[in-house]
Every structure is written in C-alpha cells, then in structure tokens.
Structure 1
Amino acid sequence: MQRLTRFVFLSLLLAAPLPALAKTDSIVLGMGCFWGAEKRMAAVPGVVDVESGYAGGDNPRVGYQDVLDLEKRIRQGRSDERNHAEVVKVRFDPDQVSLDTVLIAFWENHNPTQGDRQGNDVGSNYRSAVYYNSPAQRALAVGTRDSYQRALTAAGYGPVTTEIAPLRNYNRAERYHQDYLKKNPDGYCGLGGTKVAYPGQPQQVEPTALEAADLSRERQLIVFEAEDCPFCQLFHEEVLDGWSSEVPIVATFATKPPQRWTLEKALFATPTIVLFEDGREVSRFTGYNGERERFWQWLGYRILTPEQRRIAFEQGTERPFTGSHLDEKRPGAFVDPITGAPIFRTDAKFDSGTGWPSFFQPIEGSVTLHEDSSHGMRRTEVRSASSGIHLGHIFDDGPPPTGERYCINGNVLVFVPD
C-alpha cells in the first residue's frame, strides 16, 4: 500500500505542468573589451544574463588567441579576413526592459565614434557593433543610432562608426572571460562613454575640471578616478592618503585636464595617474592593484636624476666623498627622494670616515633588509620601505648603542631640516 501511494504521488507530480520560463530576447553588442561591457550591461534592470563572446568575423570557430593572432596578421598586412569583435550577448526580459532601453545603455556606455578602437584598446576586434537577429532589432539599432548621432554631433563628436549587421559566427568566450570583473576585482574601471546623454535621457553631468591656477604648472600629478571604483579606493589607502612626496598631487572625477593643459591620449581606465610638466602630460600610470613599488618606480624614473636612478634602481654606488649630506649636521630628517618618507634622523648620524653618510639606526619601519651576494661579497642591502629603492648596505662596525653602520648613498636622500 505504501509503495502504491508513492507511485500515485510521483505520477501526479510528473503530470503537473511546469512553471513557464520567463520569455527572453537577446542581442549581441560590441563595446570594446568585453570585461567592462559585460559589467555595464549587466547593471541594466531587466537584463537577466550577459555572456562574453566573439562575433562578426569570417571564421566559424574561434577563441581568444585566434582573434589576437588574426588581428596581428591584419595589422601586418598579411590577411584580409574579417576579424571577430569582442562582444557581449545580452539576454533580457522584454516584460521588464525594452530593447530601446538596452540600446540606449549600449550607446551611452562606450564611445561609438572611435572606429577600430575603444579607449586605449586598438584593433578591429575592439570595434563598436550591434549584431541583430531580426529586422525589428535592426530597425531599432539604426533608429537609436541616428538619434544618438544628433546628440553626439551637438556635443562636438564625429560620426558614429558602429557596425550594424546580422549576427554571424557567434562564439562564446572562454570560461575565464565570463564575469571577469566579478571574479577579478583588480581589473580596470572604465571611465564610461562620452558623457553625452541619449535624447530624452537625464543629462550626464561631467565633473568640473580642475582649475589650472590651483596647480603647479612646473610639475603636477593628477589622479583621474571614478566613483564606485575599488581600485581608486585602494590607491587612496596605500599611496595617496599618506602622501608626503615633494611632487604635488590632486585627485579628480573629471575626465578632462585643466583648461589649456593637454593629455597625450584619451583616458580609458581608473585610476589613471598623469604627470604633467609645464601643463603637458609627460607620463602616466594606468590602473592600480597594490603595485605600490611599481608606482613609485614609475614616478622615480621621471623625477630622479640619471645618477639617482642608477643608484636607486640599478643598485649603484656613488664614489666616496662625492655624495650629498656627508657633512650635514642640522637637526632634521633624511627622506626618500621619491615618496618623501623619513628614513633617518640627524641624531642617528655619525662620521664613519668612509666617505658615505652613515647612521647607526633608521627610523622604525622605514627600511627593509635583503641578502646581497653581488660582486663576490655577502652583504645586507638596505632599501627604502616606502618605495623599494636601493639605499646602501648595513655593516656591524658601527658605534653604540646598536653597533650597526648603515652605509648610505647620500644622493638618494633628501634632507628636510626641522
């Protein structure tokens, strides 16, 4: 009887109608690198899934490396094949969001006037594209493009270069590309399109650019960042909040430089730290994910002299009795020439007679020690904890109370009197 009851129950369960699956539609969009495109389109209410892939090329089956290899051959003039674009397949619920709204988000979240590029990513595989699956989708793509073109033209932009074509040869991207920025929160934060609103949509307010009069025209660092950007926050925590370098720095949400200052190329990720000299960009550091030492090395190569760079980055040594600060006795601190972090104080300095500034004790936490077996010797190298640059070596023939001698290259120290 019990077995019969179970049989009847299972029969009724299997006979019951299954709940209807949500009716969805999809469209394939190219917005440059599919990592950022996936993140932006997934944020549209009513979008139920976004998948990274490749589409629009001649080959039926491709992967990431295939796309890169073909693009290289195209640029070298060794192929006339049509390459795939990095795309996202956007699946949405028409009862919750219209295709018009999806396309408006597409237009506003990238720059559709750049041809075979998007930001700093250059190549036909980064082209702007709409690949439709029906005449109705094509009509909406063309209509919204024409509407957005009018807004772009009024804002001073050129013609839209977006390819609008039937979907062909779509390939799902490799698993590691799916939900990439969710799985890898160290990826770049995009700056977000042209800031030109689609007609009828709320105008995107561009943050006011910095005032040139408030900055140092001779040499100035500007951090271009974005709201809701964890990498910008990390840069603040690890670098900016404790800034003591002599190079002035300021952060901004604006995407344009101060008036009459010039960027060498468009910004494409945040944070981007740009070094200006005489109001002109001379170098930039793009993206940040805890590479503090690499950031300071980048800055050091721009602001240090060739002799300082040789010591700091190539473990060089100045000739004895030729460096700076050998006779400096005023109360004060000797600081890192890049970061400005204090390393030694004058009251820990002594005359060793060696020809290099010598100290019996650093400021706590200011240096790191490393084994050095170069030049056939076994020594202990001293580096700055804040920037990682080479300072000198430590020996055990110093005076009390430590008995240590920090033999330091004076040219990679800056003295700041009390």
Structure 2
Amino acid sequence: MSVQRLFCGLVAALCSTLAGAAPPATESIVLGMGCFWGAEKRMAELPGVVDVESGYANGEISGSYNAVLALEKAIRAGQSRKRNHAEVVRVRFDPARTSLEKVLARFWESHDPTQGDRQGNDVGSNYRSAIYTTSEAQQAVALKTRDVYQKALNAAGRGRITTEIAPLKAYFRAEDYHQDYLVKNPDGYCGLGGTGVKYPGGEATPMAKAPARVRPLDGARLNQQRQLVVFEAEDCAYCRQFKAEVLDHWKSPAPVVRTLAPEAPSGWTLEKPLFATPTIVLFEKGREVSRYTGYNGDQARFWKWLGFHLLTPAQQKIAFEQGTERPGTGSHLDEKRPGTFVDPITGAALFRSDTKFDSGTGWPSFFNPLPGSITLHEDVSHGMRRVEVRSASSGIHLGHVFDDGPPPTGKRYCINGNVLKFVPDSGK
C-alpha cells in the first residue's frame, strides 16, 4: 500500500484514471434526450467528446432497465408517486477541444425539448428531456443555452422548452447491452429527432434535421369500418424494411395508411401511447382493436396477427391449425367465372379459375397454381404421408396436393374453399 501511495503522489492523474475517475483534463455532464440509444450515438459524433455512456439518473429507485419500466407502468396506473429515472447519457468531453456550450448546442439540436415526458413515439417520464449538472458553473451555462435556444424556437414558431435543468443527484450506469447499442445494432430503433431549429451561432451539425411537427391523419378521410395505420419515425431502418417487404406489395383487403405523427388520427383513439416504430395499429370504427409493434423481417408473424382479425374462427382453424372443412361445405365449389382465387389475408394471387376442375371430392381443386404463389411441405399427420400446400405470401394452410389430377400437370391441388377469396376479372 505504501508503494501505491508513493506512486499516486508522483503520478496523481494516472492513479485517478486507474481508480475509475475521469482524468482532470476532461469534464462530464449528464443529458436526457429520450431513448438513450440514439442520444449516445448523436453525442458521440461531436468532435471533442471522449466517451458517452448510457444510464439512468435522478430517480428515487434502483437503477435498472426493468425497475424503470416497472415504475413507469405503476405511475401510469396511478399506483406510485415515486420519481422515475430519466434515460440519460453521461457525456465526457475534453474542454481543450470543445466547450460545454457546444456540447449543449448539440444536445438542443438533437432532440425536441418541448415535448415534456416524451420524445417522438417514446412516451413516459423516463423519456423526459433533462440536463443534470455537476457544478454551479455547468448550471449557469445550461440555463444560458436554454434561454438562447428558446429565442430561436420562438422565432421558428415552436413551443416552450420543458427540459429539466437540475444538479445530478443519482446516476446508474445502464446494462452492458445498452452501451454502444447502435454501434452493435446499426439497424436498431432510434426514435430521436430534432426540431430542425439550429442553435444560434453554432456549427451546422451533420445529422439530418427532423421536419416540422407532423399533424395527425384526418380520421374522417379514413375507412371507418376497418383501417390499418402504420406509425413510423424518421431514420427508422425497420420502418423502411417493413415498407419494402410488406407495404410495397400490399394487396390485402384491409386498407392501410402510413404516418409520421405519433398521435391517433383526429377523432380516433389509441388504447395506449406508442413506444416503438413501426407500430401497426388496427382501428375499427375509430377505436384501436389491436396493434403489432416492431418488425424484424418475420412476415409470417405479421400476417398471422392480421389474419386473426380478418378471418372468422372457422377460417382461422383451417389457416393456422391445419384444419379441414367438411367436403361439400366450403366456398367456391361452383365458382366458374373468369377470375383469380387469392389469399384472404394478403390478397396475393394463388390460382386462376381456368385451372379449376371438378374433382368430385367436395373441395375446390386446381391442376396448377400461379408461379411462386404456394409452398409445399411434408405432412405426416393422422398416420398419413401427404404434401401440404401453404400460401407463399402469408404462410397459411390451404390444403394438400395429390398426383391424381388431369393433364397437363397430373396434379390435384385440393384446397379448402373457406380460405380462398375469389376476385372476378374486370367486368365479369
């Protein structure tokens, strides 16, 4: 121990670093900008910033992700009056390379400080805008920059800043998986967006500016019986993926519309706030009946969610439980008009009517599907070895295929009529 004291006396700064404290040449401040994943990324991009760490600050509970979520749920239910932590980042910077004012200029520009307990689709007191200071000098600079930015917001017609500016009283480092999250997950969710208002006198920041606040959709212009609304956010990789993989090919009978507004269409009601994007909400008569939150490429899971709301219980049993309708009881047995049989959930074409024939089995039968419309799977249920037919677009069970069909294929695609929708050719 005496050797360590001697070493510390000679090289105090190095010992301080080894003990976990910030070197004397750096300064740190704690900032709340909503979801700390995006905040960490934005602040780390600023030249002169040495390190950015995600954490929880200035609450009255232990500092963990689960504790914060649990308390927020209790607060919303009126079951607790405790103060929750804010999701924050601790920004350590080199004053020789950048100033506290520049750090705070990036803070003000990188989120919307007028939203109260919310940032974009992230809603709750844990997402409040905040500056937690470690000295009176920092407090003074924080208040000064707030007043400067408020004048800029006023000139742009924006609202009052709601950012909490207070001394740092409690800080907990977030779990390891939250640290450098968007570095480890480049396509991860980041709901952060600025106001588009530049901090006066500051250097232009490299991130894209968010547009002016988006107005909610007009509920009167949407389908009153059933309407899907896709709530998106700027710079949302999963929103772009959902659009490319699902929306760009949309033929479903359910009408769909996209929006960047985090609120329900005017006159309509969301059951609870949104917390991630994309969120797909199904409305009926202006009220939310179900939602699908997030998208990671699992199309079958999305279509199954939607299918449970579009299909009847009898259809669901066939589609999702490999059920079979009784022969002679299904739909479309006698359908002979020119047209297309489509998936009842996605609307994707499956069979043309000119490939349909009377097999005498009591189920609609076809000798050829449309290219790429189905997938085939081995089925050994009920003590038999058969080949199952599923819809390629939604993955639902359609029926089975047998080798006793007519020319030219010799195949009989024996399909449950109740999971087919017929679309006649135009004018037929």
Distance 2:292 2:247 in 1: 14
Match of residue 166 from structure 1: 168
TM-score, normalisation: structure 1: 0.76
Match of residue 227 from structure 2: 220
Letter in 1 for 2:136: P
Alignment check: 8 A CA contact 2:105 2:199 kept: no
**Alignment CA distance shift 1:279-1:74 (3 Å):** closer
What whole-Å deviation, never above 9, does each CA across 1:49-80 have from its counterpart, x for those lacking one? 322234556899x7767877999999999999
Match of residue 14 from structure 1: none
1:30 to 14, 28, 32: 32
Alignment check: 8 A CA contact 1:24 1:94 kept: yes
Larger mean Cα displacement after TM superposition, 318-327 or 399-408:
399-408
**Alignment CA distance shift 1:269-1:66 (3 Å):** closer
2:327 to 301, 320, 323: 320
Alignment check: 8 A CA contact 2:224 2:286 kept: yes
Distance 1:187 1:395 in 2: 45
Distance 1:146 1:313 in 2: 59
Larger mean Cα displacement after TM superposition, 356-365 or 178-187:
178-187
What whole-Å deviation, never above 9, does each CA across 1:120-179 have from its counterpart, x for those lacking one? 778876665533222222334456668889979x9788x9484733254543x4443222
**Alignment CA distance shift 1:123-1:156 (3 Å):** closer
**Alignment CA distance shift 1:67-1:327 (3 Å):** same
Distance 2:230 2:248 in 1: 13
Match of residue 42 from structure 1: 44
Letter in 2 for 1:285: Y
Match of residue 136 from structure 2: 135
Alignment check: 8 A CA contact 2:121 2:262 kept: no
What whole-Å deviation, never above 9, does each CA across 1:245-264 have from its counterpart, x for those lacking one? 12222223333444323333
What whole-Å deviation, never above 9, does each CA across 1:178-231 have from its counterpart, x for those lacking one? 2212321342231637x5969979995123444445432322222232333322
**SS of the residue aligned with 1:325?**
coil
The answer as to 2:185 corresponding to 1:178 is no
Letter in 1 for 2:389: V
Match of residue 345 from structure 2: 338
Match of residue 99 from structure 1: 100
Larger mean Cα displacement after TM superposition, 302-311 or 328-337:
302-311
Distance 1:307 1:30 in 2: 50
- How big is the shift at 1:114? 5.5
- How big is the shift at 1:357? 1.0
- Alignment gaps of 5+ in structure 2: 1-22, 202-208
2:401 to 374, 394, 401: 394
Distance 1:335 1:246 in 2: 11
Taking only the aligned residue pairs, the percentage that are identical comes to: 66
- How big is the shift at 1:390? 1.3
Larger mean Cα displacement after TM superposition, 358-367 or 101-110:
101-110
**SS of the residue aligned with 2:309?**
helix
The answer as to 2:236 corresponding to 1:229 is yes
Distance 2:309 2:158 in 1: 36
**Alignment CA distance shift 1:163-1:408 (3 Å):** farther
What whole-Å deviation, never above 9, does each CA across 1:287-319 have from its counterpart, x for those lacking one? 222121112112212222222222212222222
The answer as to 2:197 corresponding to 1:190 is no
Letter in 1 for 2:225: E
Distance 1:106 1:402 in 2: 66
Alignment check: 8 A CA contact 2:32 2:87 kept: yes
Count the aligned residue pairs.
Answer: 392
Match of residue 255 from structure 2: 248
**Alignment CA distance shift 1:95-1:221 (3 Å):** farther
TM-score, normalisation: structure 2: 0.75
RMSD: 4.0
Distance 2:59 2:268 in 1: 41
Match of residue 263 from structure 1: 270
Match of residue 367 from structure 1: 374
For residues 294-305 of structure 1, the aligned pairs below 5 Å read 294-305=301-312
